[in-house]
Amino acid sequence: MKKISIVTPCRNAERYIGETIESVLTQSAFLSGRTELEYFICDGLSTDRTVAIAEAAAKGFRHGAVRVLSRPDHGMYEALAGGLSLATGDICAYINAGDFYAERAFDVVLDIFESGRAEWLTGLSVNYNEQSQLVGISLPYRYRSRLFACGAYGRTLPFLQQESTFWSTRLHQYLDFKRLAGFRLAGDYYLWRQFSKHAELKIVLTHLGGFRTHRGQLSRDLPAYREEMSEILDGRRPNPLDYAVACFDAVMWKAPVAWKKKLNPRGLFCYSHDEQRWL
């Protein structure tokens, strides 16, 4: 049985943390006994009810499966680095307070990881509003190592949606957790850049999780985010071939699903009703 490790970094998130935790603890894969859960809620000494809400949820779940760690930190990526460094599961992901998973997301992830055809996976890009209503959805075309290396995602192409992304914990060997802890905004891009050197990011045509847009988010400071991205890329700039590939992919991002599947047959999983599995 595979174990899934999830990390939620948070601070003063009483308005949103309950829905995020519920989306993890009510996963059908856990409730059916298909997989084991390891869930770290890493709080930065909240001054509201965040910790109380998290601890109440932890008490209602299986003993030891949920750990609430409340201690001082210098930002969400220090909290995230602390949680990821403790992960012992086979599959790992993180989700911020306010964002949440689809009810059967982890069953899909397990279907694909257990087939041995992916060790880094993402789904549809999904956006929620403050009322938890789905307001945007799109299917990525493909993700390329060369375009992670030059910073095309977030510039020429959309960002990779972290809330829909899962990976083999084996990839943690390529991370410097101390460096991750030092980022303020672009720590997720550091993860993707490191993973992209050693694994291909696959896409599954389903809703795994989504990002909630609300006022006051750190992620809305795009100039500062891109400045940190530049540090991660060590000054690497797109060359003419990078631009050409990124522009082609930008067109394909808006293409029909059939085109995306035809041009990315190994990297896009679609469900076959005839075979009752993801192909």
Tell me how far apart the alpha carbons of residues 272 and 254 are, in angstroms, rounded to a whole number.
Answer: 23
Cα dihedral: 178, 20, 24, 120 (round 10): -50
Q: Quick count: other Cβ atoms within 10 Å of Cβ 136? A: 13
User: Residue 87 in contact with residue 40, Cβ under 8 Å?
Assistant: yes
Per-residue pLDDT at 87: 98
Run of H or E residues at 106: helix 105-114
Is the domain spanning 3-278 CATH 2.120.10.30? The answer is no
Residue reference for tokens 């929620």: 128
User: Residue 28 in contact with residue 109, Cβ under 8 Å?
Assistant: no
Tell me how far apart the alpha carbons of residues 32 and 82 are, in angstroms, rounded to a whole number.
Answer: 29
Question: Which residue stretches of the chain have pLDDT < 50?
Answer: none
Per-residue pLDDT at 216: 61
Angle value at C-alpha 149, between 252 and 269, nearest 5 degrees: 40
Per-residue pLDDT at 146: 96
Residues 93, 98, 104, 105: is their CA dihedral positive or negative? negative
> If we measure between CA atoms, which residue out of 94, 110, 130 comes closest to residue 36?
110
User: Residue 87 in contact with residue 169, Cβ under 8 Å?
Assistant: yes
pTM of the model: 0.96
Tell me how far apart the alpha carbons of residues 241 and 83 are, in angstroms, rounded to a whole number.
Answer: 38
Q: Residue 134: helix, strand or coil by DSSP?
A: strand
Per-residue pLDDT at 126: 97
Token pair listed for 202? 């696959």
Angle value at C-alpha 147, between 127 and 118, nearest 5 degrees: 70
Token pair listed for 138? 């799109």
Phi, psi angle pair for 189, to nearest 5°: -65, -30
Q: Residue 223: helix, strand or coil by DSSP?
A: helix
Q: Residue 151: helix, strand or coil by DSSP?
A: coil
